[in-house]
Amino acid sequence: MRRARLLTVAAVLALAVTACTSSDPEPGPTTSGPSATASPTAPDDGTTVVEVEHLGAPVELTVHPLQVVGEHALLTVDYAMPQGAPAGTNLSVAALLRNPGTFLNVGRLRLLDTAGGQAWEVGRDGGVSISTSGEPLNLAPGGSVTSEAFFAAPDTDRVDVLFPYFGLVEDVPVVRDEDVATTPEDLGASAAAVYPTGGVEVFTLAYDGGASTQVQAQEATVTLASDVLFATDVFELTPEAAAVVDNAAAQIKQAAQAGEVVVVGHTDDVGTDDYNLDLSNKRAASVAARLGPALGAGFTLRTEGRGETEPVAPGTSAEARAANRRVEVRFTAVEAGQAIEVTTGAAAVPEATGPVASGSTPVEVEVQGATWSVTAQEVRRRGPYLVGTLRLERVSSGMGAPVGLFGDFASGRLLSRGLSSTTLTAGAYGATLLGEGSRFFPADYLNGNAGLDDARGVLADQFIDVPLSEGQAVTVHAVWPDTGGDAVSIDAEGRFRITDVPVER
């Protein structure tokens, strides 16, 4: 057994945690300090022990090695509360860790391989997570409970476990163990159960919205908005558009390995199929003709036109159609998972559109009639990523969840990310890092949720659903691509900005 420090600070909940004490029927959550450091005298049985606090009561998490049997892997976590915890404290682990739209499970646990850039979600059957569904897992003073959850089997020796509100537990051993007492069927799985896994992708968006980049492993795609490059029904580049391509070429050349670069044209759904296919081919050819000489020797260009056949944004709204009109430049990146910035205009960081604080100083934000204090507690490197912790405290009267604290529904290029409305409005996805010319969003991955091929999960708290009253607080977490600096600026557009947050190594 090893005693490890959580990468982030632990938090506690109110409604979702179902906690109360005899002196206060609806006490507010508190936050704990860092968990215990490693204990060199503990027996080495592969478990990882993390200590957190809930309502002033210590809670000990024991994360057992991930047990692989065939195609599946079982994660077992013990939760214990000492006898000396405040009388009447009652934590429902299954309510704390449940998936949105369900009641009791541990469906929001996720596995992460930072070196390999892979994420795994709890298996699901008929939309319900395969875990401890139907059991509240109530934790009281002097008691302990255990959660179990199945994932697809990783091919790594160690994984990190991302807990909602508690953060990232690092380096959990993966063991190949044929003697596992629990099976997926024991937890309600049928033959139709699915076990989502996806390659982690990093996404940046230029401040002017005209360009975005996506990198999964070493496969990189730079997307240029056609509206920046071409007039309606036109495929020739204007001098201004040529300058945009030249600028993109200089940035791509720095990030790309020598070799093939593929330029793909796309249109919206206005016009006939044949017309749009022809237009997309001509636009791809125009961009490639300018891009090739700018990239120089070592690169070969190939073009494709897809017309309207591969929309990235659903619907026929003006915003959706604008997102679908695009030219993609695909290439092999020098480094796996690197964040690439490509801009189409001025690269200056935009002015803040909300209150601003610096370092560990809280910033106060008003959203939907409630006032919240947001503090950047920690940003730490983990492989090619940065893992951050933000503390959210309600400082106004009333009660409610911090819905919308990190922004509104997606617009523009964000429409292409396949994210749920819950993630966009009730999660921390809108907490971005500011680069030289782009926003760095929390990393995401395809998970096929609800049977949609383009549905994504994000490596951030996706569903902050806790109604908080004045003085109550939770912490939330995000995993971003590494910007490479010693400090970062965290910005939720239209909400708040926290500058000069140091990056711990």
Query: What are the tens digits of pLDDT across the range 19-61?
Result: 443 333 333 333 333 333 233 233 478 899 998 766 556 789 9
Lowest mean pLDDT among 103-107, 152-156, 345-349, 351-355: 345-349
Q: What is the pLDDT of residue 35?
A: 33
Which range in 105-114, 169-178, 472-481 is most confidently predicted, on average pLDDT? 105-114
pLDDT tier for residue 450 given thresholds of 50, 70 and 90:
low
Kindly list the distances between the CA atom of residue 476 and the CA atoms of 126, 387, 399, in Å, as whole numbers in the listed order: 28, 11, 18
The CA distance from 345 to 100, in Å, is: 39
Instruction: Tell the residue number behind the tokens 């910035």, with chain if given.
Output: 341
Residues 6+ apart with CB under 8 A from 360: 375, 376, 377, 501
Q: What is the pLDDT of residue 421?
A: 76
Better pLDDT: 284 or 348: 284
Better pLDDT: 100 or 310: 310
Do the beta carbons of residue 470 and residue 396 sit within 8 Å?
yes
Annotated domain spans of the chain: 2-179, 201-332, 356-502
Does residue 1 have a pLDDT over 80? Answer: no
**Checking DSSP bridges between strand 144-152 and strand 370-382, what pairing results, if any?**
unpaired
The CA distance from 427 to 409, in Å, is: 11
> What percent of the chain is helix, strand and coil (3-state, nearest 5)?
15, 40, 50
Better pLDDT: 29 or 267: 267
Q: What are phi and psi of 423, to 5 degrees?
A: -60, -40
Q: How is domain 201-332 classified at the architecture level of CATH?
A: 2-Layer Sandwich (3.30)
- The H or E element spanning position 365 is strand 363-367
Lowest mean pLDDT among 124-128, 156-160, 220-224: 124-128
Do the beta carbons of residue 162 and residue 113 sit within 8 Å?
no
Query: What are the tens digits of pLDDT across the range 68-86?
Result: 999 999 999 999 999 988 8
Averaged pLDDT of the chain: 87
Q: What is the pLDDT of residue 133?
A: 78
CATH class of 356-502: mainly beta
The dihedral through the CA atoms of 91, 93, 96, 102 has a sign that is negative
Q: What is the pLDDT of residue 200?
A: 96
Distance of CA 7 to the CA centre of its chain: 16
Do the beta carbons of residue 65 and residue 46 sit within 8 Å?
yes
Instruction: Tell the residue number behind the tokens 């940065």, with chain if given.
Output: 386
Give the length of the chain.
505
Query: What are the tens digits of pLDDT across the range 488-503?
Result: 999 999 999 999 999 9
Q: What is the pLDDT of residue 29?
A: 31
Q: Is 19 exposed, middle or buried (0-12, 13-18, 19+ CB in 10 A)?
A: buried
Q: What are phi and psi of 50, to 5 degrees?
A: -125, 130
Which whole number is the average pLDDT over 394-399? 95
